[in-house]
Amino acid sequence: MQPEEKTTGEHVYLTYAYLNASEYDDFGSLLDDDVTVWLPGEDPVHGKELVILQEYSRDLVYSLESVWATPGGVFVTGVVHARLDPADAMGFVDILTFSPHGLLLVRKRYHARMSGANQPLTARESSVFRPALRGRLGKLFRRWAPC
């Protein structure tokens, strides 16, 4: 791992750790002055101060599931919820781009509402899911030769 890759990786984890701890000044130290944040259904937010204000006003808690680094950026998946309402959790994917100095330059977020844990499928979901699963499993097992 190159030194700049290590710094970027550390900055990814620190970004979410600072937000979880409500340490917005420390979070701001990881942002480029020209940072831009794109959130679903909202206008993009430009500039360090506005991004810090946005995060402060949302007061979210992040649980990271995985982080992938590519030459074009870093992909982060996890679950996010309001600090005071963990039941309203959403799955998210953040695509992060860093400046040459290792500061966060762009964050694009995609999210999906989380279904309840062990929530049963509806009749419609079940009627679509089961045949599709059977079809995929059938194709998979037809490819395997018996021993």
Model pLDDT for residues 87-129, shown as the tens digit of each residue: 888 889 999 999 998 899 999 999 876 655 445 455 555 555 5
Range of the domain at 13: 3-120
Instruction: Please answer whether residues 111 and 90 qualify as being in contact, where contact means their C-beta atoms are separated by less than 8 angstroms.
Output: yes
pLDDT of residue 133: 57
pLDDT of residue 54: 95
Q: Does residue 46 sit within a domain?
A: yes
pLDDT of residue 137: 54
pLDDT of residue 136: 58
CA distance 116 to 122: 13
Cα 43 to its chain centre, rounded Å, is 18
CA distance 52 to 35: 10
Q: Does residue 147 sit within a domain?
A: no
Q: Does residue 136 sit within a domain?
A: no
CA distance 1 to 111: 30
Q: Does residue 24 sit within a domain?
A: yes
Three-state SS string over the chain comes to CCHHHHHHHHHHHHHHHHHHCCCHHHHHCCEEEEEEEECCCCCCEECHHHHHHHHHHHCEEEEEEEEEEECCEEEEEEEEEECCEEEEEEEEEEEEEECCCCCEEEEEEEEEECCCCCCCCCHHHHHHHHHHHHHHHHHHHHHCCCC
Instruction: Please answer whether residues 92 and 105 qualify as being in contact, where contact means their C-beta atoms are separated by less than 8 angstroms.
Output: no
pLDDT of residue 118: 44
pLDDT < 70 positions in the chain: 1-7, 113-147
Q: How many domains does the chain have?
A: 1
Instruction: Please answer whether residues 91 and 77 qualify as being in contact, where contact means their C-beta atoms are separated by less than 8 angstroms.
Output: yes
Q: Does residue 138 sit within a domain?
A: no
pLDDT of residue 85: 85
CATH, residue 79:
3.10.450.50
Q: Does residue 19 sit within a domain?
A: yes
